Structure 1
Amino acid sequence: MNKLKHVLLIDDCKATNYIHKLVIEKYGFAETITEFMNGSEAIDYLSAISRRRDTAPELIFLDLNMPVLNGWEFLEQYALLPVEHQAGAVVVMLTTSLNPDDEARATAIAGVKAFASKPLTLEKIDEILAEFYPGCAR
Structure 2
Amino acid sequence: MRRGAHRSVPHTADLRVEAWGPTREECLAQAVRGVCESFLDLTGAAGVRTRKVPVRADSDADALVALLEEVVYWLDTEDEVPVDMELTPIAGGLHAVLRMADGASLPVTGAAPKAVTLHGLEVAGGPQGWTCSVTVDV
TM-score range, shorter chain: under 0.3
Greater helix share, structure number: 1
Return the TM-score normalized by structure 1.
Answer: 0.27
Greater strand share, structure number: 2
